[in-house]
Structure 1
Amino acid sequence: MAIRIDSTYIRIGTQHRLRGLKIGIKDHIIHPLYQKEHSFDYDVMLLELFKYLRFGETVNNIAISSGEYEEDITIAGWGYAVEKGDYQDILQEVKVPLVAFEKCQKVDQPWYNNTLTSRMFCAGGKNGDACQGDSGAGAVSKGQLIGISSFGFGCGRVPGVYVNVSRPYIREWLRKYTGV
């Protein structure tokens, strides 16, 4: 039986935005506490695919961090390289420093201003950051997933904000659905 792939799919096994095998998305599961305390709190969603992924040289899993990380993290995505730019055709990667939570809370922009929650952390800034189109991208340290790009203001104007996947309510929710 052929599996129908409609407009909702992911691409796998490639660094090229418009190449690679398409796998249809069967369902998506949004964290039940999303937007309860903050517009971007618990900004995490799982995708159920129509097919199982076959791990190999170009497709693999990543461990979720238990909270250990280095001072710099690596983020990757096909989003804009500069503000008001264009999507990238080749996957881009940048190493950015973590920013003190207290400093990030003081950013004078909507959704910052002492409203960030303990399930968030900040990284990046003028020398590198996630940008438009990178939301949902992984933040990696020590070869493990520590966060997911959530929001920011501009591209590098202020630190970007990430979902901290090692926090208990997020990690337990992920484990409940994935077994990981």
Structure 2
Amino acid sequence: MRPLRALQPQSLISALPVLLGVLFALLPGSPASAGDRVVVGGRPVDAAKHPWVVALASRDRFGTERSGQFCGGALVGARTVITAAHCLSREVLGVDHGRVDDLHVISGRNDLRKATGHEVKVRKKWINPAYDTGTNSGDVAVLTLDKPMPAGSTIPMAGRHDKGYKPGAAAEVYGWGDISGYGDYEPRLRAADVDMLEDSACGRAYPKGSEGAFDKDSMVCAGVREGGRDACQGDSGGPLVAHGRVVGLVSWGAGCGEEGRPGVYTRVSAMADLVREHSA
């Protein structure tokens, strides 16, 4: 099973309550114990102060407890959200994305169990036709919202030569996903501090294989040398931010926070022209 970082639909996993949506369960390596909260090393942040971090939600597919959240995204225009293409796959949703009629985007909701912030229906979806499910390259989709989010809610996309891509640059990854590697989800938005890594390090960590293959033209890696801070399942599509711009989208990786196995992100600068072409 490929190590994508999205949840599985509730209807497909109700028989495994301890491992809800854990796509990494079949991967090599042992995740930290359920009580070890440092496996992804995140901290709670105020969603209202980070309105450009959005949750993708479908209560029909993922239940009502956490507003139906299953992936993340970044608000790069008042009506434009970028996320991972695999978030809209049959593998994640359990059905064709065209059959999911209640897809919404949530911004500024500090507790997914409540109704604060802004929740807007998705009007149109564009999924990159060049997304390669074998290598995970081109993992991007553009969502057009039914109505605009409030002014000041967006974040700019990084350009090709943005300083945020420099190895060693400090970055943050945001999401509502698993904090333990065992399907342990919290309702509040979290962020983890990571470092941008050299392409060569990513290539060594992920040569072509069953997990995917690192492609420096469409992907970027981030993490910490000793492991312990990373995105995890449920974080797919969420933003990796450096120097105030979104440089990556959570895409894939082996395990969660494992040493020598950094998170792999869609390189936003490589997709920015496509995003603009398919924006509202």
Q: Deviations over 1:75-120 (max 9, x none)?
A: 11000111113222110011101222212212266335xx321110
* CA displacement, residues 115-159 of structure 1 (integer Å, 9 cap, x when unaligned): 321110111151300011101000101111111010111111210
**Alignment partner for residue 238 of structure 2, among 128, 137, 146?**
137
Task: List gaps (5 residues or longer) in structure 1.
Answer: none
Q: Give the match's secondary structure for 1:173.
A: helix
Higher relative contact order (CA 8 A, sep 6+): 2
Task: Tell me whether 1:151 sits opposite 2:249 in the alignment.
Answer: no
The residue number in structure 2 matching 1:47 is 143
Cross-structure match for 2:186: 88
Determine which of 95, 100, 110 is the counterpart of 1:15.
Answer: 110
> Does 2:220 align with 1:121?
yes
Q: What CA distance in whole angstroms lies between the structure 1 residues aligned with 2:250 and 2:110?
A: 18
Q: What amino acid maps onto 1:82 in structure 2?
A: S
Q: For the structure 1 residues 34 and 82, does the alpha-carbon distance in structure 2 shift closer, same or farther, using more than 3 Å as the test?
A: same
Q: Which residue of 1 aligns with 2:125?
A: 28
Give the gaps of 5 or more residues in structure 2.
1-58, 60-100
- CA deviations on 1:39-73 (whole Å, 9 max, x unpaired) are 311101111122222225xxx10011112215121
CA distance in 2, matches of 1:48, 1:178: 7
Separation of aligned partners in 2, 1:105 and 1:156 = 17
Work out the CA distance in 2 between the residues paired with 1:28 and 1:18: 26
**Identity across matched positions, percent:** 29
Residue of 128, 131, 154 corresponding to 1:61: 154
- CA distance in 2 between counterparts of 1:55 and 1:18 reads 25
- Output one character per residue of 1:1-43: Cα deviation in whole Å (capped at 9) or x when no partner: xxxx95311112223233333211122101121117x531110
Aligned length: 167
Using the size of structure 2 for normalisation, the TM-score is 0.55
Superposition CA RMSD, Å: 2.1
The amino acid of 1:61's aligned partner reads: T
Normalising by structure 1, report the TM-score.
0.83
